[in-house]
Structure 1
Amino acid sequence: MIRYQITAIDPVAHLFEVALRIDKPAPVQQLWLPAWLPGSYMVRDFAKNLIDIRAFDEINRPLPLQQLDKQRWQVSSSAEVLHLRYRVYAWDLSVRTAHLDQTHGFFNGSSVFLAVAGREQQTHEVEILPPKGIVDWQLATMLPRVSGDDWQFGRFRAADYDELIDHPVEMGTFTIGTFNACGVRHDVILTGRHYCCMPRLLADLTAICESQIQLFGTPAPFDRYLFMTQVLKDGFGGLEHRASTALHCSRHELPQSVDAPVDKDYRNYLTLCSHEYFHSWNVKRIKPAAFMPYQLQAESYTRQLWAYEGITSYYDDLMTYRSGCIDKQGYLELLSQTFTRVYRGSGRLLQSLSDSSFNAWTKFYKQDENAGNAIVSYYTKGALFALFLDLTLRLETHGKKSLDDLMRLLWQRFGQKNLGTADDSHQQLYSELLGRDASAEFAWLHQTEDLPLAPLLAQFGVELKLRTSSGNSDQGGGDIDGLTVGFGAKYKAESIGIRLTSISNGSAAHKAGLSAKDLLIAADGLQVNAQFEQALQRYQPGTSITLHWFRDDVLMTGELPIEAAAKDTVSLILKDDVQAKGWLG
């Protein structure tokens, strides 16, 4: 057995201390720390946060420790027991790494637990201790418990290293709620200041979870599940695990009363929960063969992320609708926003879904100001491709089959059998359901044209309307009139002027000579403010105005052509409710 002890040794300095005991180590024992963690496809080099690593034998004599590279170490000795002690700097307020201060502690095992090379398949045990002098902290994790009651510190055991790092840990003082979904206990914890009406949240999560369990079929793939949310002033994010999810949300996204309407903010949080929960099947258990097992010391490439994130992104909103938490119009608004995020990026015409999946490590997860012009998201366009597959299957089988059937087949033939999917597995199963070869449908994975979704939606009573944006805050949806004159840049207000954050290639902003990070201060001799796009509407297309801006500390000028706004915003409009029931019934 590999044994760890981890203590929040100094919350003010954001330090965890880890002690690792290895019985009967190899004469030359190597240790390593992951460079990334499953579900977040970017090398994060967690080892950069390890401090003062030391090795000792069974009687506490120091042993020489050699670092082999950025994340591997080696100890050569004849010791019967090898001890390592080190500290971890934990000041990343995210769901991916570790965070510790006087208010709470959080960590993913991948960022704090050194793996013992050659013994990753052995049982791993960890004792988690609270900070000294703090007596009211609780602890939440889905690591199998060896000692202590629920919500207490104690000892925990994992069957192997992979399980050890797939159960994040939250410690501090938090609000706890519990509900039952299809016979499975689910817990919800909220850390941080909040005003949440817990009964309302539990009722809505119950509906969402039951809908998803019923989609794949009982029993659920876990005996118990945990939603852990860090509530912040402004926050958003989630990361899936085999029996839990770590989430961040903004304080205003939680419901404050039992009968509060599901506004855009609360809907945002519910669909996030729905997304991460759907991953319990789709990527945690149904997964690419390239992830079996995970190779965590370097990038692990797959062209299938469109299926694991894109299909999940299609179902997160859809299951929130099917559960009754949002109505049909609310769902169509969410889907309109997904369309809009895709259509506003010219990169969709340059990068295919397959390539987007493969290049997640360097392009999607390391986006810069030019991302919209160069790449497409396998989340959003992947969701549209899932919609394309779903509607096509429903039409050709006259409603007898849907994408639900594909997900159930994937679960039965891959997830339940612990087999990884190949690049053509989804196509083969889809062809089986369709009753014909689906090569033409799956060829869209390798193409860069827009998917032919408007005619498909029309057959389900929904009109896809392309319109112009109504301003910098317009995310899509709603049958409204947009602006007539376009700018072609995203920006944020500054005390003087607006700071440009991205420029669309070929747009008026591009033609004027503007670049991301420029500070635009004046247009047509007048100071610019946050209402700049609205101010442009006073000018007639075919004319131009003079702009002044700072790039660094250099004043620059250029001519902005007044051009018609691009139709890059989508509104999905329900035209025939009877037809729509074939998809949203």
Structure 2
Amino acid sequence: MKNPVQYTIVPKDPVAHLFEVTLAVPAPDPEGQVFTLPAWIPGSYMIREFARNIVRIRAESAGSAVPLKKLDKHTWQAAPCGKNLVLRYEVYAWDLSVRAAHLDQTHGFFNGTSVFLAVQGQEDLPHVVDIRRPDGDQFKAWRVATALPELKAKRYGFGTYIASDYDELIDSPVEMGMFELATFKAHGVPHDVVITGRVPNLDMPRLVADLKKVCEAQIALFEPKSKRAPMGRYVFMTLAVGDGYGGLEHRASTALICSRNDLPVKGQKEMSDGYRTYLGLCSHEYFHTWNVKRIKPDVFAPYDLRSEGYTTLLWLFEGFTSYYDDLMLARSGLIDEAAYFKLVAKTINGVLRGSGRTKQSVAESSFDAWTKYYRQDENSPNAIVSYYAKGSLVGLALDLTIRAETRGRKSLDDVMRMLWQRYGREFYAGAGKGVAEAEVEALFDEVTGLKLKRFFERYVRGTEDLPLAKLLAPFGVEWEDKRKNAKPGLGVRTAKEGNDCKIANVYEGGPAHLAGVSAGDILVAVNGLRVTAANLDGLLSRYRVGDELVLHVFRRDELMAFSAALAADDLPQVTLTPQAKPAAAARLRNALLEPQAV
């Protein structure tokens, strides 16, 4: 191995949440080596300024200090020096999420984007990292979990790991601590399941068996003949906390966070809502192994992690992944069709309840992810649509349309397989390329033999609601909207703030909006009766649609009074019910929920 870039990372002070990183560059740029830290992490489309967590940094060569000049918020340049330039720096790690780094006495976690400075011009060289144990007897039982290949370390042990280049290094998060560990094989490929955090009576055998079904179904979707996974090993890393939810995909692993109550309990065989949600999260991030980690928008091939990468295609890469995550639970037999269509109905209701869907298309939502979706505020329901949620419904609508118009000969599965064959299968072998925006629609037409331009104009680039009731009917799924018995409401979403009832969102055109109430107001009284975080619904239930109410609110430190006429809480309440008859509709529906024969 010629002149690899070498890192050492040590949990230097877990109590102070500090990692210490040493970066050795055997052959620095003679003009002055430049180093840079990513400003964002792939899969989370927001500038996060990870360099702000570098507490101090210094450079040396041959035992002598080398001056460092900061060029911008995340870039440094060392003065020209001889060989063997060494950087030493400390990183503050106190972000309990899947996006950055976290360290305390219970565990350590980091994404490479948060801790590993890139050596400009040497990103394509092999990168070696020595992961060391923190000092102290209390850490002797700690282990390491990562998808990085071992160089001079035993699997799950501290020691030296290797990445083929900088991209693989930062796309391989690391968990260290005392964790539960299990391994299964999906079509011959080892998959590790790592659970960090206190989880009483964790039913690991059930979790492993369920994940195996999901992983094998997804592998078979993309490679139905060979059943060949795109990685040699995969790692599910989950941090269990009191209350949390999130996931981030990587090329051969995923970092997850969940409530410990969402994980399966020994002796409880029913599928709880929390466990189903957790399996859906695992399914979502695993599907990204193909869709976005290897099949990529061209703007992400390669990533420019110094600034935003704009694409109108996140509805396909995130939205379609959201479509397939729950669908794969059904195809794996983990949920039945009634449970699956209940999840679809929940997504439909969530999309239809925001007026932002009439103002922003999913293509625009994709492009604006950096400034709107990942920076939501109190007005977001009135201004934006989720490319995750509506994107998943676009995937469903396209799947139903393709299946219906080709009489079952083609489906969205065929489109995903073509994307994989053409753009993803050889991506990390050096032959892959990103998907250009102009190529997507043509590929759909090519694979299906249909002309789908009007669909894309209306529902992807346009803001029309998807005709899902009409599309589901031939598949024997009944659509019913039960809002006709709506209760009176103010057209707001509230949040608990201590014992106060805080107005979190004011929905456009609703009674509160028309009366003058604003998000952020603290609702203190309705018709002279005190409002708390728990009693608003009970108070409103005493009135009828059309009744005039006097609302007292605090806006900042000023007491204000407004008059509001209650309106029917006209939020969609769609239910989807699979019908047992006729047999033809049941066969069509089952075709959607079963792996398609190839």
Q: TM-score, normalised by structure 2?
A: 0.94
1:205 corresponds to? 211
1:120 corresponds to? 123
Do residues 353 (structure 1) and 356 (structure 2) align? no
Please give the per-residue CA displacement for 1:434-475, whole angstroms capped at 9, x wherever unaligned. Answer: 31322112112111111111100111111222233xxxxxxx
1:457 corresponds to? 472
**Aligned mates of 1:258, 1:404 — CA distance in 2:** 36
Change (3 A) 1:158 1:494: closer
How is 1:505-584 mapped onto 2 (pairs within 5 angstroms)?
505-529=508-532, 530-576=534-580, 578=583, 579=585, 580-584=589-593
Percent of aligned pairs sharing the same letter: 52
Q: Please say if residues 418 and 447 of structure 2, whose CA atoms lie closer than 8 Å, have aligned partners that are also in contact.
A: no
How is 1:173-212 mapped onto 2 (pairs within 5 angstroms)?
173-195=178-200, 196-212=202-218
Q: Please say if residues 467 and 567 of structure 1, whose CA atoms lie closer than 8 Å, have aligned partners that are also in contact.
A: no
Q: What amino acid is the match of 1:127?
A: D
Please give the per-residue CA displacement for 1:54-88, whole angstroms capped at 9, x wherever unaligned. Answer: 01012x11111000000000012232110110000
**Aligned mates of 1:71, 1:25 — CA distance in 2:** 19
Q: What amino acid is the match of 1:543?
A: D
Do residues 242 (structure 1) and 251 (structure 2) align? yes
1:40 corresponds to? 44
Q: Please say if residues 486 and 570 of structure 2, whose CA atoms lie closer than 8 Å, have aligned partners that are also in contact.
A: no
Do residues 138 (structure 1) and 147 (structure 2) align? no
Q: What amino acid is the match of 1:550?
A: F
Please give the per-residue CA displacement for 1:273-312, whole angstroms capped at 9, x wherever unaligned. Answer: 0000000000000011111110000001111100000000
Q: Please say if residues 55 and 75 of structure 1, whose CA atoms lie closer than 8 Å, have aligned partners that are also in contact.
A: yes
1:96 corresponds to? 99
Deviation at 1:575, TM superposition (A): 2.7
Do residues 311 (structure 1) and 340 (structure 2) align? no
Q: Please say if residues 153 and 161 of structure 2, whose CA atoms lie closer than 8 Å, have aligned partners that are also in contact.
A: no
SS at match of 2:539: helix
1:282 corresponds to? 291
Change (3 A) 1:31 1:507: same
Q: What amino acid is the match of 2:331?
A: R
Do residues 392 (structure 1) and 401 (structure 2) align? yes
Q: What amino acid is the match of 1:264?
A: D
How is 1:10-409 mapped onto 2 (pairs within 5 angstroms)?
10-27=13-30, 28-58=32-62, 60-133=63-136, 134-195=139-200, 196-217=202-223, 218-257=227-266, 259-409=268-418
Q: What amino acid is the match of 1:162?
A: D
More moved, 403-412 vs 250-259: 250-259
SS at match of 1:556: strand
Q: Please say if residues 487 and 533 of structure 1, whose CA atoms lie closer than 8 Å, have aligned partners that are also in contact.
A: no
1:411 corresponds to? 420
Q: What amino acid is the match of 1:427?
A: E
Do residues 421 (structure 1) and 430 (structure 2) align? no
**Aligned mates of 1:80, 1:430 — CA distance in 2:** 53
More moved, 151-160 vs 531-540: 531-540
More moved, 425-434 vs 319-328: 425-434
Deviation at 1:531, TM superposition (A): 3.5
2:429 corresponds to? none
Q: Please say if residues 464 and 570 of structure 1, whose CA atoms lie closer than 8 Å, have aligned partners that are also in contact.
A: yes
Q: What amino acid is the match of 1:136?
A: A
Q: Please say if residues 263 and 275 of structure 2, whose CA atoms lie closer than 8 Å, have aligned partners that are also in contact.
A: yes
Number of residue pairs aligned between Structure 1 and Structure 2? 572
Tell me how large the CA RMSD over aligned residues is.
1.3
Q: What amino acid is the match of 1:185?
A: P
Do residues 436 (structure 1) and 450 (structure 2) align? yes
Please give the per-residue CA displacement for 1:113-171, whole angstroms capped at 9, x wherever unaligned. Answer: 00001111111111010101121110000111101211100101111100110000000
Change (3 A) 1:64 1:410: same
**Aligned mates of 2:91, 2:498 — CA distance in 1:** 39
